Every structure is written in C-alpha cells, then in structure tokens.
Amino acid sequence: MDLNGWYFCLRHHEVEHGLGCKAAERMGPYPDQATAERALEISKERNEAADAQRRKWDDDDD
C-alpha cells in the first residue's frame, strides 16, 4: 500500500493521507487531495462508462 497516497474513506466519507482506515474501507491511492475528494464521482463516471461499453458489446452481438 502506498503510505504517502491520498485515499477516500468509505466509512467516514473523508479524505485521508497516508495511514488511515483499513484498506477494505478506502478507495485509492489518488495522486492528490483534490482527486481523492472526487473518488465517488470518479467511480460513478467509470461505472457509467463500463455500463455503456457493455451495452454496446451486447448490441453488437445482435
């Protein structure tokens, strides 16, 4: 684990730098605090992109 990275704690909904909550409760590491603050938004964007890609994949099978 990158002990100097920035993380978003899913338990406390706060950004942590370095050591913090258990890894299973955190997202990251992120390169900086601002990016870690956007962790949930980034995750949502990635999920939406993956869903769109899956729909396209499924449509190509028809």
The model's pLDDT over 3-60, given as tens digits with 9 standing for 90+, comes to: 789 999 999 999 999 999 999 999 999 999 999 999 999 999 999 999 999 998 888 7
DSSP E strand stretches across the chain: 6-9, 14-17, 26-30
**Global pTM exceeds 0.75:** yes
Residues 28 and 26: their CA atoms lie apart, in Å, by 7
Coil vs helix vs strand at 61: coil
Pairing of strands 26-30, 14-17: unpaired
pLDDT in the model for residue 17? 96
